[in-house]
Amino acid sequence: MKRRTVLGAAAGLAATHLKYGRLIREAAASEDVEADVLVIGAGASGAASAWRLASQGFKVVCLEQGDWLDHLEIPSTKDDWELVRQREWNPSPNVRGLPADYPVNDSDSPIKALMYNAVGGTTLMWSCHAPRFHPSDFKTNSLDGVGANWPLSYWDLEPYYDLNDKMCGISGLSGDPSNPPRSARQRAPMPIGKGAARLASAMDDMGWHWWPNDVQALSSAYGEETGDCNNCGPCEVACPVRAKGSTDVTYWPKALDAGIRLITKARVFEIETDANGNAVGAAYYDRNKVARRVRAKRVIVAANGIGTPRLLQLSVSKKHPNGLANGSGLVGRNLMLHPIALVTGLFDEDLEGYKGITANCITSQEFYETDDSRDYKRGYMVQFLRSFGPVLTSLAGYGVPVPWGEKHHSRFLDVFNHTASAGIVCEDIADPDNRITLDSDLTDGDGIPAPKMTYTLSENSKNMLAHGIESCTKIMENAGAKEVHNIELVEQAGWHLMGTARVGDDPEQSVLNKWNQAHDVPNLYVVDGSAFATAAAVNPTNTLQALALRAADHIAQTRGEL
Amino acid sequence: MPSSNVDTPNTDILAAVMNAILPGGDGFPSARPQRFGSAMMADAAKDNDTEMVRDLLSKLPETFVALEPGDQVAALQTLEASETVAFSKMIRHAYHAYYTDSDVRSAIEEITGYPARPPHFEGYEMEPFDAKVVAVQRQREPFWRKV
Ligand SMILES: Cc1cc2nc3c(=O)[nH]c(=O)nc-3n(C[C@H](O)[C@H](O)[C@H](O)COP(=O)(O)OP(=O)(O)OC[C@H]3O[C@@H](n4cnc5c(N)ncnc54)[C@H](O)[C@@H]3O)c2cc1C
């Protein structure tokens, strides 16, 4: 019965792939083209904005430096999947080094840059946790005297959160007391599993908040060509059953049906401008490394919090000598990440931690807001994690050591499937010295200057991390952990890239206005995480997709103006 | 005195080292059989670490293979203390080789129930979400900060 379902699913997937094969070939044709709107980047935000515009009749072209991913050819279908995810499927472009990747010089940052470059962007690797920002996140300066206020509010964005949820499908549960009310979720929450149930019960006893996550993965299929999540675990190595909300599954099929032209293996090296400084399109290298051009009335940059400032800084002209849209000098500055610490409890019980999405089950937002009795401003979310497979368990993936030698095997058995972890996801307060610049030496495979990331962990973050470790240790102890281990700062955690072209009302203090439109270049929009004025303490993708949809609607509403 | 003739790691040394690192027991096989050493070297090659491992092993005493198990461990501990980074890389390659071996994966399945197959396509059965688990949290008044 189970086998039949699996084979049935595979047959359906093969049909889907044939369809995409045709689309891919169509998209591959390269010549100079014209469009109403050019979108650069086919990841989370690019896909959302492109679909929204194409479905309102715009002629949209999207340039993406990567290609389509064949979901049937991913590591989690193979015995060495835990090795491949450390190499060819490593979230660091520096380790992967695939032709679509560009290197990032992150040697001056204690947190390393992570991303994926293909149709679907980093959502091909994401863990699908899709929370919303809180209303307070948009007003941290007024409320707490830190960070910048956004020129829009939670309530401005709420309809677009709803639209994004509807487009992608959320498995979750409404009624979370730590957040404003929201509509019924599209699908039932994901199973919680033994480890999270144990921690949840401890938090109930402590009077602390927890709630099942809003997940952009489907507890049961939602719409055409999607599948049911089979609780396989590692969403980070993509999803062959198409249950995970990567945008090649959620937005792109609909965007292509709406007539958008997606050109893959097309690396943009300059956003071009006219004599007045307005954007007129972009120049890119096609798959044969021939330089080409797309002409467009409006340009949307959706290349992520590192790729976007890189591209704006590369686009120097007479009118924009410091890079495009950089009159404020803030392009690339105010890089925000979410510093993360990890606390792991080791339990006597077999928690079956391999079952269910590894990094996505329940969260606690007990410590989300500023509390003046603490030595830091703003707060953190605790995102609970399941456990790793045998290889990463033996390598102390979540910080529980397994020594080599005589005691190795008994210790392995003590640890394997007997851990539950808490990731402390801290709000990062913007600092202009944390930034993306162009590296003076490093280049990508096309010889284009690579980005350099400079980042220092603030005292505020250090204090917040320490508080998080303390509170999560209490949770583990109350849940009956016999050992508790922690990692004070996770190095491979630069997955949330924000702030490098931020929104604001004041053109001297921000790059974009409240519609994600560049102050200096009215026909240029930035819709990825670069636009964030604050980082909040939750994962950013739902918010950047909502912003992208909203910006697209603004373009539609002002279509006659330019 | 360090051994001098280990340009391709001597299979006896490799087997002895693998066995000392992963000696077996508790239902697990030892990593002594040659295939583990070969797999470890193949894994090292993927990260361009072949030379590094050879170098490391050449720093073991020439008599390593003949040493008592306790003395082998002591020799490896000495090496670990002096060559921390290289040693930890070698351990990584050894674990990679060991935990992707089909006998080891079968042993894990037998002992723990964790299936000896990749996560896909079958995935795993789980109890569906039961709304009763949020009963306590549902009683809490909304506490998000009103703005
Ligand atoms: C392991 C991992 C787990 C994650 N888990 C979560 C999670 O659970 N929840 C969450 O909210 N977020 C998560 N994230 C982060 C999430 O994936 C990103 O926030 C999101 O994908 C960012 O969307 P984006 O549109 O800004 O950029 P991306 O999705 O990165 O897309 C940018 C696209 O632009 C393309 N591009 C860049 N430069 C150029 C150029 N010059 N020319 C042409 N194309 C270009 C890239 O190839 C890429 O496809 C995770 C990330 C990682 C790495």
pLDDT value for B8: 57
Residue ranges per structural domain of chain B: 11-118
Distance from residue A47's CA to the centre of ligand 1 (Å): 11
Q: Count contacts between A and B (CB, < 8 Å).
A: 175
**Domain boundary assignment for chain A:** 14-93+100-182+213-336+436-456+494-557
Is the pLDDT at A11 greater than 60, yes or no? no
Q: What is the pLDDT of residues A271-285, one digit of tens each?
A: 999 999 999 999 999
Q: List C-alpha distances in Å: B65 to A19, B2, B15, B19, B68.
A: 59, 13, 9, 11, 8
Strand-pair partners of A419: A346
Of A10, A180, A234, the CB nearest to B119: A234
The encoded tokens of residue A199 equal: 């921690």
Give dist(CA A166, CA A56) in Å, integer. 17
- Indicate if the pLDDT at residue A17 is higher than 60: no
pLDDT of A485 reads 98
Q: What is the pLDDT of residue A10?
A: 39
Ligand 1: which atom is nearest the Cα of residue A266? 43
The distance of A297 to chain B (nearest Cα, Å) reads 38
Candidates B112, B125, B141; nearest CB to A177: B141
Tokens of A383: 């995102």
Task: Produce one character per residue of A530-543: b if its CB has 16 or more CB atoms within 10 Å, e if not.
Answer: bbbbbbbbbbbbbb
* A78, A231, A406: residue with CB nearest B118: A78
The complex scores an ipTM of: 0.95
Q: Which residues of B touch A193 (CB under 8 A)?
A: 126
Given pLDDT bands bounded at 50, 70 and 90, which one contains residue A75? confident
Q: Per this entry, what is the length of chain A?
A: 562
Return the ∠ at Cα A357 (arms to A352 and A360), rounded to 5°.
110
Q: Which of B91, B108, B113 sits opposite A404 (nearest CB)?
A: B91
Q: Determine how β-strand A291-301 pairs with β-strand A524-526.
A: parallel
Pocket of ligand 1 (CB under 6 A): A 40-46, 63-66, 91, 114-115, 117-118, 121-123, 125-129, 236, 267-268, 302-304, 307, 311, 495-496, 528-529, 539-541, 544
What's the gap in Å between B90 CA and the centre of ligand 1? 33
Q: Which residue has the higher pLDDT, A20 or A547?
A: A547
CA distance A453 to chain B (A): 25
Tell me how close the Cα of B7 comes to any Cα of chain A, in angstroms.
25
The residues, ordered by sequence, that sit 6+ positions from A457 with a Cβ below 8 Å of its Cβ are A110, A111, A339, A489
pLDDT tier at A77, thresholds 50, 70, 90: confident
Distance between B143 CA and the closest CA of chain A, angstroms: 5
> In B, which residues are within 8 Å of A242 by CB distance?
none
Residues of B in contact with A76 (CB under 8 A): 118-120
Closest ligand 1 atom, CA of A304?
Answer: 26
Task: Output the residue whose Cα is nearest ligand 1's atom 50.
Answer: A126
Q: CB B111 to CB A390 under 8 A?
A: no
**Upstream peptide bond of A269 is cis (omega within 30 degrees of 0):** no
Residue B5's pLDDT is 37
- For B123, the closest of A135, A230, A408 (CB atoms) is A230
Chain B residues whose CB is inside 8 A of the A177 CB are 137-138, 140-144
Contact B100 A83 (CB under 8 A): yes
Q: Which residue of chain B has the CA closest to A191?
A: B129
Q: How would residue A197 be classed by pLDDT, with cut points 50, 70 and 90? A: very high
Residues of A in contact with B21 (CB under 8 A): 404-405, 408
Q: How far is CA A227 from CA A46, A50, A194, A257, A432, in A?
A: 23, 24, 24, 20, 43
Chain-chain contact of A188 with B128 (C-beta, under 8 angstroms) = yes
Separation in Å, CA of B78 to nearest CA in chain A: 14
Which pLDDT belongs to residue A562?
61
Question: Which band of pLDDT confidence, cut at 50, 70 and 90, is reported for residue A5?
Answer: very low
Chain B residue numbers touching A10 (CB-CB < 8 A): 121
Collect the ranges in chain B with pLDDT lower than 70.
1-9
Rounded to the nearest whole angstrom, what is the distance from the C-alpha of residue A401 to the centroid of ligand 1? 32
- Tell me the shortest Cα–Cα distance from A412 to chain B, in angstroms: 10
Instruction: Please indicate whether, in this complex, the C-beta atoms of B134 and A209 are within 8 angstroms of each other.
Output: no
Cα B104 from Cα A292, distance rounded (Å): 53
* A51: nearest Cα among A242, A282, A238, A250: A250
Return the closest-CA partner of residue A420 out of A482, A476, A341.
Answer: A476
Of A178, A179, A354, the CB nearest to B124: A354
Would the CB atoms of B119 and A87 count as touching at under 8 Å? no
DSSP β-ladder status, A279-285 and A267-273: antiparallel
Q: pTM for the full model?
A: 0.95
CA of B26 to the centre of ligand 1 (A): 43
Give the pLDDT confidence of A299-331 residue by residue, as tens digits: 999 999 999 999 999 999 999 999 999 999 999
3-state secondary structure of A271: strand
> Does the structure show a pLDDT above 60 at A1?
no
Q: Which residue of A has its CA nearest to B25?
A: A409
**Alpha-carbon span A534 to A481, nearest angstrom:** 35
DSSP string, A137-202: GG-HHHHHS-S---SS-HHHHHHHHHHHHHHH--B--S--TTS---PPPSBPPPP-HHHHHHHHHH
Mean pLDDT estimate for chain A:
94
Homologous superfamily, domain A14-93+100-182+213-336+436-456+494-557: FAD/NAD(P)-binding domain (3.50.50.60)
A18-63 pLDDT, tens digit each:
344 334 434 444 567 899 999 999 999 999 999 999 999 999 999 9
pLDDT in tens, A435-460: 999 999 999 999 999 999 999 999 99
Q: Write out chain B residues lying below 8 Å of A175, CB-based.
A: 134, 138
Segment A145-174 mean pLDDT: 98
Q: Do A409 and B92 touch (CB under 8 A)?
A: no
